[in-house]
Amino acid sequence: MEIVIVTVPNPYGLHASPASLLSKLVMGFISEITVYKNEDLTRKYNAKNVLSVMDMNAIMGDKLTFEAQGEDEKEAILSIANFADSGFGE
């Protein structure tokens, strides 16, 4: 399992557009990718499902923990980290 923690930099959070771009990005990986918001491990979200990502209601400053498990987990986590650094496509 590979893990990365990122901070949401977007002033409007992960609304429909960045959530959709994130889901499209991670759908290209075989690994299972789960997201937790602000270290709350009781609520997990499926990063490959745009509605699940939007259900997080992630706002600017929230800490998102991405966990990837599978054969391409390292590549998935690196891509997610780079995508978050770029402002989730915005």
The catalytic site residues sit at 15
Is 25 in contact with 83 (CB distance < 8 Å)? yes
Query: CA-CA distances (angstroms) from residue 74 to 15, 17, 30, 58, 61?
Result: 26, 25, 11, 24, 25
Query: CA-CA distances (angstroms) from residue 57 to 60, 62, 81?
Result: 10, 10, 19
Structure tokens at 24: 């499209």
